Amino acid sequence: MLSVGTDLIEIGRIRRLMENPRFREKVFGSGELSQLAAHGFPAPSAAADFCAKEAFAKAMGTGIWSFRLPDVQLLRMEKTGKPFLRLSGSAQKLAAGAKFSVSITHTEEYASAVVAAVGPAVEPLSDCEGLRTLRTMLKPRAAESNKGDYGRLLCVCGSEGMAGAAAMSIGAALRCGAGLVEAALPVSIYPIVASRLAEPVFTLLHPLPDGSLSADDKRVLSGAISRSSAILTGCGLGKNASVAAQVLKESTVPVVVDADGINYVAKHKYSLETCREPLILTPHPGEMARLLGTTAAEVQSHREEIARCFSSEHHVILVLKGAGTLVAAPDGRLYRNSTGNPGMAKGGSGDVLAGMTASFAAQGIAPYDAAVGAVYLHGLAGDFCAAEKSQSAMLPTDLLDMLPELFLKIGR
C-alpha cells in the first residue's frame, strides 16, 4: 500500500515559535535538536522538520496528536544531507512496519515536506457520521487538567457468578477516559474484579439473600449516586437488579441502563418516568422484546420504527443493538451504525459497549452523541479484532485491548 502526506508552513511562524525553549522541547527529538543546534537553529530547517511530522501524520491517515511529535524526527545524512525519518515510541507503533521516504524544500517564506509510506501502514478511517461525532466530542486534553475535569462515573454492576460483566464494563469505562470510576458491587465479587482492575474506587455492598440492599447499603449507594456525573447500571446485576430502582429514582445525572437493568425496567415501566435525567437504554432484540411485550422476531422486522417510537414515547436515548445498531433520540434523530461484525455476537460485548457509553456521558458529552460515538468505536474495535484474531476466536476482552490503538489512530 502506498500513502502520501504533504504539508506547507510559513517559515516566519516557526522562527517566532523557536524563540520559546518549551516549543523546541515539545516538538523536536534529541537528534533533530542536535543537528539544528550545530547550525544555529535555522528557521527554514526547523520549519521543514515540523512539516515532515505533519506530512507523516497525513500519510498515516491520522491527526498529528496521534503520536508524540519528538517520536518523528527528520534527520539529514552527514555526507550527503539527504533527509530521512527516524521513528520511535508511539510513531513507530503507528507506522506498523511501513517504510518511508521524505522530500523537503523551502523558499524564503515557506517550507514544505512530502512523506510517502509504503507497506503495511494503517489504512485511513472512512469518513462517516460515527467517526465525525467521535472526533468532535473527544477533544485533546488540556495540559493543566486533572481527573476532576473528566467526570466521575458510578458503575452499579455485577453479582455472584457475574463478576466478568462488572470487570468488562468497568474496564471499558476506564479505557474511554472517565477521570474517576467508582464501582459499587457486592463484596463477594470484589476480589475477582479488583484482581483485574486496579484503577476503580470500590464501594462494597452486602446484598441480602433476595438481592435487595439493607438500609445501610442504600445510604452508601445514595452517597455514591450523589457524587457521580453519570451512572451505569445493569451489567451482571442478576437478582440484584432491584438496586436499579434506587438508581433510577435518585439520579440527577445521565444513566446508562443495560442487561438486567433493562429487564427490571421491563417489569416496572413506571421507573422510566421517575428518572430526572435522560436515560440511555442499550437493549439487544430479546431485551427490546421484553420492554414491548412482543417477540424478538417482531423487533427485528421493524427495528427503525420501534427504536424511534420507543425513544419518543419514553423520552430516552435508545441503543437497539444488533447488525447495524441503531441509536434513536426523542427529537427524531436516528443513527445507523456501519461498523461491527458477527464475531462480536458473544456474551460480554454488550457490557463493553455499556461501559464505553457511560464513560463518555460522565465526561459531559451529550447522551445521544455519547451513544453514537461509543457504538461506532465499539464496532470499529470489533472489526480490527476480527482482522487480527478472526471472528471465531476474538473475545469481548480483546475489544478493550484494541481501544488504545484506535484512540491513537483517531488522534485522541
Task: Give the residue numbers marked as catalytic.
Answer: 58, 106
Q: Convert 129-163 to b/e letters by CB count within 10 Å (16 or more is b).
A: ebbebbbebbeeeeeeeeeeebbbbbbbbbbeebb
CA atoms within 13 A on the CB side of 282: 29
Would you say 96 and 388 are in contact if contact means Cβ atoms under 8 Å apart?
A: no
SS (H, E, C) 255-306: EEECCHHHHHHHHCCCHHHHCCCCEEECCCHHHHHHHHCCCHHHHHHCHHHH
Residues contacting residue 222 through CB under 8 Å, at least 6 positions apart? 246, 250
Would you say 338 and 378 are in contact if contact means Cβ atoms under 8 Å apart?
A: no
Indicate the residue type of 52. A
Reduced to 3 states (helix: H, G, I; strand: E, B; else coil), residue 145 is coil
Distance of alpha carbon 262 from alpha carbon 256, whole angstroms: 10
Largest CA distance in the chain: 79
- Alpha carbon 16 to its chain centroid, in Å, reads 36
- What residues form DSSP beta bridges with 154? 182, 231
Indicate the residue type of 186. P
Tell me, what DSSP letter sits at residue 212?
-
Distance of alpha carbon 328 from alpha carbon 307, whole angstroms: 6
Nearest CA to 129 out of 297, 369, 386 is that of 369
Angstrom distances, CA of residue 74 to CA of 46, 163, 181, 235? 9, 49, 41, 49
Distance of alpha carbon 213 from alpha carbon 236, whole angstroms: 16
Tell me, what DSSP letter sits at residue 125?
P
